[in-house]
């Protein structure tokens, strides 16, 4: 992903018109954790053709990072708008 090698697992389910997904990734080069979080964020937002509407980032115990973001697309061509809420940790 964006030049970063990782192994990723994801599972998802849809209930009514809401999709719930959870995933995990193991980064081969742990020095790329910050870049991987940014790449995953970019990929998720592009997946819905959206723009970021809110974002917070924190460094937590042990130097790990946490990012929370919200994104939305515009309702075009009569489809319902898509919203994304994600919590990313390294």
| Distance from C-alpha of 18 to C-alpha of 9, rounded to nearest angstrom | 20
> For the chain (length 90 residues), average pLDDT per consecutive 10?
79 88 85 85 88 88 84 78 87
Q: Where are the domains of the chain?
A: 6-89
Q: In 3-state terms, the chain is what percent helix, strand and coil (to 5)?
A: 25, 50, 30
Q: Name the residue with tokens 């997904």.
A: 21
The pLDDT of residue 1 is: 64
């Amino acid at each position: 992903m964006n030049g970063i090698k990782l192994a990723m697992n994801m599972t998802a389910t849809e209930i009514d018109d809401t999709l719930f997904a959870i995933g995990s990734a193991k980064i081969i080069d742990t020095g790329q954790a910050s870049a991987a979080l940014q790449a995953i964020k970019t990929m998720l937002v592009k997946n819905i053709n959206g723009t970021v509407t809110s974002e917070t980032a924190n460094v937590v115990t042990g130097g790990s990072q946490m990012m929370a973001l919200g994104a939305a697309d515009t309702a075009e061509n009569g489809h319902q708008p898509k919203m994304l809420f994600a919590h990313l940790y390294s």
